[in-house]
Amino acid sequence: MLMGLGIIILGLSSLFIGAADMQLQAILAGDTDALTIFFVSRVPRLIAICLAGAGLSVAGLVMQQVCQNRFASPSTTGTIDCAMLGYVFALVFASNSNSTVTMLSIFTFSILGTLLFVQFLQRLKFKNVILVPLIGIMYGNIVGSLTTFIAYKYDLVQSLSAWTVANFSSVLRGNFELLYVAIPASILAYLYASRFSAASMGESFAKNIGLDYKKVVFIGVVIVAVLSSSVVMIVGMIPFLGLIVPNVVSLFKGDNMRKNLPFTAYWGAVLVLCCDVLGRVVIFPYEVPISMIISIVGGVVFIYLVMRDKSNA
């Protein structure tokens, strides 16, 4: 009940905060300018924020199960860096292509890159809770340096950084609809939740209870790649989100993935919504990119999680 109220209040504030001056009365009076702004800019932005926030958080949750590590998320397993590489690749080698080609390239790179990492993890004998994200971050940096190299060679560094910085300021009706892919992907994740949980117990355990381990891992990776590459494509890189939201939710709700998934999606949306509204207000009428705000919040929470985990162990 309280949760529903929270998102409604935030959602309303998102709908009525923006560079253009638009009053509730004008909408009710049917003023065309106000209605245009409302339906072309404000509503799509709210939907995009919710989808991106929920999608990335769910992606983080799935990734944590697949990697059997609570610090795994699209940003600590190289998925997002691979998506970036895909973007630069499309930009350089198919310069005048349409967004479908770019999307396919991003998706292909992120899925292959993540699979590679998961394969590598499975061969690793010693899986320390900190070691996995560390290797993931290193892997991400290697992929990232390749991206930077290509971008540098073709003078795309500034375009790349402008594009990477996540913000919802250019979201409008007609350019964000790809994010709806988060809905079927999240439903699929929900349906597979118990299988992911079983897989997270390890390959031999999963096989003992008659699970096609490889298939489950593959489906998990595809879900993660679809969710995070669609967000990277439309919004940009939102750091920490897939990491902190599932962890904070499991702090309060325990580790049952199927039960946690809706909460994870909800809190992901709320967090992104909060940060985006904040980013719109700070230097109004200009905007602070959401990635900047979420990095500050996320960094603090991440450090807290790491410290806390150590004291438990």
Partner 1 sequence: MKALKTLFTPLALATSLTFSGFALADTITVQHVAGETTLDTNPQRVVVMGLGSLDVLDTLGIEPVGMVKTYLPSYLEKYQADEFKNVGSMFEPDFETIFTLKPDLIIASPRTAPLAEELSKIAPTVVFQVDSAGYWESTQQNWRMIGKIFEKEKEIEEYITQYQTQIDDIRQFVEAGEIDALTVMTNGGNLSAFGEQSRFSSIYKDFGFKEAQSGIVESTHGNLISFEYVASANPSVMFVLDRDQALGRGDSAGKALLDNDLVNGTKAAKNNHITIMDGNAWYLTAGGMDATQVMIDDIRSVLDQE
Which residues contact partner 1 by CB under 8 A?
18-21, 33, 36-37, 40-41, 91, 95-96, 154-156, 158-163, 165, 167, 169-170, 172-175, 285-289
In terms of CB distance, is 41 or 110 closer to partner 1? Answer: 41
Backbone phi and psi for residue 124, each to the nearest 5 degrees, phi listed first: -75, 130
Least Å distance, CB 101 to partner 1, is 12
Contact between residue 213 and residue 205 where contact means Cβ atoms under 8 Å apart: no
In terms of CB distance, is 8 or 162 closer to partner 1? Answer: 162
As a whole number of angstroms, the distance between CA 254 and CA 249 comes to: 8
Distances (CA, A) of 7 to 24, 50, 65, 246: 19, 10, 27, 18
Least Å distance, CB 224 to partner 1, is 23
Contact between residue 73 and residue 202 where contact means Cβ atoms under 8 Å apart: no
Least Å distance, CB 202 to partner 1, is 42
Least Å distance, CB 310 to partner 1, is 38
In terms of CB distance, is 163 or 190 closer to partner 1? Answer: 163
The token pair that represents 15 in the structure block: 């709908």
In terms of CB distance, is 84 or 243 closer to partner 1? Answer: 84
In terms of CB distance, is 8 or 20 closer to partner 1? Answer: 20
Tell me the H-state helices in the chain.
2-15, 24-28, 32-36, 43-66, 79-93, 99-123, 131-153, 157-164, 182-191, 193-199, 203-208, 213-234, 241-253, 257-282, 290-312
In terms of CB distance, is 27 or 115 closer to partner 1? Answer: 27
Least Å distance, CB 169 to partner 1, is 4
Least Å distance, CB 91 to partner 1, is 6
Eight-state DSSP code of residue 255: S
In terms of CB distance, is 19 or 29 closer to partner 1? Answer: 19
Contact between residue 239 and residue 298 where contact means Cβ atoms under 8 Å apart: yes
Contact between residue 85 and residue 146 where contact means Cβ atoms under 8 Å apart: yes
Least Å distance, CB 116 to partner 1, is 27
Place of tokens 């959602």: 11
* Amino acid at residue number 12: L
**Angle ∠(153,158,163) on CA atoms, nearest 5:** 115
The token pair that represents 226 in the structure block: 């679809």
Least Å distance, CB 105 to partner 1, is 14
Contact between residue 281 and residue 222 where contact means Cβ atoms under 8 Å apart: no
In terms of CB distance, is 96 or 204 closer to partner 1? Answer: 96
In terms of CB distance, is 160 or 222 closer to partner 1? Answer: 160
Q: Minimal CA–CA distance to 273: which of 50, 40, 2?
A: 50
Least Å distance, CB 79 to partner 1, is 20
